[in-house]
Amino acid sequence: MARATITLIAVLFFLPPQSHAQWRSVGSVDTGFVRGPAAEFHSGSAAVRISFLTEEIVRVRAVPRGAFPSSRSVAVLPKDRPAVQMVAAEDDSLVRLSSARTTVNVRKHPLRISVHAADGTILNQDAARGMAWDGAEVRVWKQRISNEHFYGLGEKSGILNRTSKSYSLWNSDIPAYRADTDPLYQSVPFIMTIRDGRAQGIFFDNSYRSSFDFGVESDARYAFGANGGEIDYYVFAGPTPADVLRQYTDLVGRMPLPPRWALGYQQSRWSYTPDAKVRQIARTFRQKRIPCDVIYLDIDYMEGYRVFTWNEQNFPRPAELLADLARDGFKVVPIIDPGIKVDTAYRAYRTGMQEDVFLKYPSGDIFLGNVWPGTCAFPDFSKPSTRAWWSRSIAELRETGVRGFWTDMNEPSVFDVPTKTIDLSVIHDDGGERTTHAKNHNVYGMQMTEATYAAAREARPNERPFILTRASFAGGHRFAAAWTGDNVSSWEHLQLAVPMCLGMSISGQPFVGSDIGGFIGAPDGELYARWLQFSVFTPLMRTHTVIGSPDQEPWSFGARFESINRATIELRYRLLPYLYNAMRQASETGIPVMRPLIFSYPSDSGAVWNDTEFLFGDDLLVAPVLWLGERERDVHLPKGIWYDFWTNERYEGGRDVRVTAPLERIPVFVREGAIIPTQQILQYVDQAGVNPLTLTVYPAANSSSEYYGDDGISFDYERGGYLLRSLSQLRESGELRFTLGRANGALPVPNRFVDIRLIGVERAPGMVSLGERKLLRMRALPAGEGWHHSSATRVLHVRVKESGDELSIHAVGTAPTPKSPGPRP
């Protein structure tokens, strides 16, 4: 009896949650047909449609009854694609649908799907339950193939590798979140799985509250679903992680190039006020010669937090302030919140009411919620008339001289209600379909950025907008950069910032960063300095801190840290050409700037759980110091040859090494064969053109890359207004060749020098020539054309005038590449 009771309790305890006993899976195929690159199957009242968008992108949709509704997606870009050739074959148990590169097997009894690469490798395969419904809920189960690891889902706290965890997606404002806090501000229902070096991706195009399980329910399965909407997902066949991202961003679009100044250092706090304080901060940067491009205005610049107003007391003449700051090279970015204060004396509210822009309950009453200004109404950004209304105020801010927009509170966050957001029954226009907040919640923030981006472009058609957002959805990278919200000034949070930024990067959003030094609390000098060093290698490099906290500027931690922090920010400015090239690559291919090791080395077992290192662009490996008091750290170097960025010491990869990391230095390694473009230090990005353009060559037998430059602000590059040159180098038996390919693009070649620094050159060459012309040897670094060799640093430095022609440099009589690291001074 006792034993039976225990057994019963044990059974009850281990039973899965009972709430989903009612899952109804798709049954056997009754009928099916093929049309073009798509097939549709019917099973009872359910229907399943499988279509090839490209040879490597397959879409799966399923409905429990009736026909497929017209499908509108805020994430997927409408796009004309060449028709895919799909071949269908059938036997008693299976229908096989194949493009040249991908095959979908549809088992008929019951209907279960598996997706395969051309060589037969399984990419994903339905588990026993396949696709199912329970009331309004939808869910898909896939078999977890052994050794399969899970990444993606955008902004998530905790570790980067999502295996054995489960997550929900529901945009939420959670200050001082922790490693296990979920969900957070953004929802990106995209995942990448990697197994034995091979990647595939899945994008679940559903904006309802969704959930993903990577092995909690069972380690033999993974699953995704939502509490409304359709089963509608896309499979990306890879095979590399870069291919998956290229395919995913082919579907949801890519980041447009931001203005180049947005890659400069940015300074924020809640809040710099009044105007004199803003001026003082700006002046201090220039006086101390610490480079800075952007200053933010947090909510206190407004009149009672009314968006699109200026506080008359503290910011009496905003246009004058912004113009003065602009003369000094500062761009000002104010915060804008979605909540519009209910106040008939406030223009945005009055016009918003007249133009019927606010979200309403089904009854027609306007939804009211409490946020910073008090009781507010919320614009329905899915409505064209709302966007037109919003656009006018954005244009006005732009006319006043602001250069970017910081969209906050757009989860949307609502105070004083248990759900912390808009009532789920509230109706959004949603393209005229009039759907609930339950459906539109997760896309609200992205739609706010979309409206803001469009408005900024309308105001200045040939100027690239800059928007920084807290909330977003899949595809939101088309409109805004994103930061990781309200973190904490702690070492743990610095450690979290790395996988968070990487998780966003690997999910399609390249333009990411975290509040440097932490938002809540106060960092000490060391934490701030280490955070700043890490953030040289996050595309968004912005300090921010909460109201009432101590000063958090690069000079706030004493003289020693001030000089360390200056040098750190200067490093960022030196690297701008390299970063800009990586941003361009991201905007063209979807391959992010920050890449987890597993992204670039999917077969490297040392990369699977690596949360403390990453690649920055194609050629730099960054190993930030994330621990108090540490002056050295272990670094996993993937296979290949690596050079220490600071000392040029040469390392064999494929192993872990221990490296020193004094307070002033973040460990960075350069891939062999890299040609790294850098520039002179400036106080702000547009202070002067790149001059000289320095190209540091880390010799390999041969290698090549590209240099891209443009005006950094306009869209002229879309019409050929850029400068694009190939870079290549060749090294064999004591000879070095470096070639800067002929200038492509309509941008005039700048009147400047190009400095080529060849690393690891043992002996001074007997001769260095530029094409037919012999270059002069100099005793010191050349001021004009010429070359210099230092046997102490083993750098051969060649300086030539840039022209539109191919520039080919040839050095003869140097020693061969060293086989092992030499001693360093």
Q: Among all residues, which ones are annotated catalytic?
A: 408, 411, 486
Q: 234 or 270: whose CB is closer to ligand MIG?
A: 270
Q: Which residue has the tokens 């017209």?
A: 70
Q: 335 or 397: whose CB is closer to ligand MIG?
A: 335
Q: 299 or 761: whose CB is closer to ligand MIG?
A: 299
Q: Looking only at residues 315 through 344 of this chain, which bind ligand MIG when binding is defined by CB under 6 A?
A: 335
Q: Interhelix angle for 576-589 vs 559-574, to 10°? A: 50
Query: Per CB under 6 A, does 297 bind ligand MIG?
Result: no
Q: Looking only at residues 532 through 551 of this chain, which bind ligand MIG when binding is defined by CB under 6 A?
A: 544
CA distances from 168 to 153, 299, 402, 508 (A): 9, 30, 36, 18
Give me the amino acid identity at 451.
A
Read off the tokens for 629: 């008091």
Q: Residue 530 in contact with residue 628, Cβ under 8 Å?
A: no
Cis-peptide, bond into residue 189, ω within 30° of zero: no
Angle, alpha carbons 58-61-64 (nearest 5°): 160
List 198, 246, 331, 470, residue binding ligand MIG (CB under 6 A): 470
Look up residue 628 and give its DSSP letter: T
Q: CB 485 → ligand MIG: shortest distance, Å?
A: 5
What binding mask, one character per residue, do residues 21-50 give for ligand MIG by CB under 6 A, x or -?
------------------------------
- Nearest to 528, CA basis, from 493, 485, 573, 575: 493
Distance CA 477, CA 381 (A): 17
Q: CB 579 → ligand MIG: shortest distance, Å?
A: 24
Q: CB 545 → ligand MIG: shortest distance, Å?
A: 8
What binding mask, one character per residue, do residues 255-274 give for ligand MIG by CB under 6 A, x or -?
---------------x----
Q: 409 or 622: whose CB is closer to ligand MIG?
A: 409
Distance CA 23, CA 140 (A): 11
Look up residue 372 and give its DSSP letter: T
Q: 486 or 553: whose CB is closer to ligand MIG?
A: 486
List 408, 430, 710, 802, residue binding ligand MIG (CB under 6 A): 408
Q: CB 337 → ligand MIG: shortest distance, Å?
A: 7
Query: Per CB under 6 A, does 486 bind ligand MIG?
Result: yes
Size of the site for ligand MIG (CB under 6 A): 10
Q: CB 551 → ligand MIG: shortest distance, Å?
A: 15
Q: CB 454 → ligand MIG: shortest distance, Å?
A: 23
Max intra-chain CA distance, the chain = 99
Give me the amino acid identity at 150.
F
Q: Looking only at residues 409 through 428 of this chain, which bind ligand MIG when binding is defined by CB under 6 A?
A: 409
List 55, 205, 250, 298, residue binding ligand MIG (CB under 6 A): 298
Distance CA 675, CA 817 (A): 16
- Nearest to 493, CA basis, from 456, 455, 457, 534: 534
Q: CB 338 → ligand MIG: shortest distance, Å?
A: 12
Give strand ranges (E) for 266-337: 266-267, 294-297, 331-336
Q: Residue 211 in contact with residue 167, Cβ under 8 Å?
A: yes
Strand-pairing partners, residue 801, are: 753
Q: 335 or 377: whose CB is closer to ligand MIG?
A: 335
- Nearest to 817, CA basis, from 694, 730, 727, 740: 730
Q: CB 415 → ligand MIG: shortest distance, Å?
A: 8
Query: Per CB under 6 A, does 497 bind ligand MIG?
Result: no
CB count within 10 Å of CB 752 equals 16
Residue closest to ligand MIG, measured at CB: 270
CB count within 10 Å of CB 36 equals 11
Q: CB 298 → ligand MIG: shortest distance, Å?
A: 5
Q: 406 or 580: whose CB is closer to ligand MIG?
A: 406
Query: Per CB under 6 A, does 398 bind ligand MIG?
Result: no
- DSSP H or E stretch at residue 312: none
Distance CA 450, CA 252 (A): 14
Q: Residue 492 in contact with residue 179, Cβ under 8 Å?
A: yes
Q: 189 or 485: whose CB is closer to ligand MIG?
A: 485
SS3 248: helix
Q: 270 or 378: whose CB is closer to ligand MIG?
A: 270
Query: Per CB under 6 A, does 562 bind ligand MIG?
Result: no
Look up residue 56 and give its DSSP letter: S
List 183, 445, 465, 485, residue binding ligand MIG (CB under 6 A): 485
Q: Residue 471 in contact with residue 446, Cβ under 8 Å?
A: yes
Q: 485 or 653: whose CB is closer to ligand MIG?
A: 485
List 106, 235, 297, 299, residue binding ligand MIG (CB under 6 A): 299
Q: CB 399 → ligand MIG: shortest distance, Å?
A: 23
- Nearest to 697, CA basis, from 658, 727, 661: 727
Q: Which residue has the tokens 């790294």?
A: 676
The residues that touch ligand MIG, with contacts defined as CB under 6 A, are 270, 298-299, 335, 408-409, 470, 485-486, 544
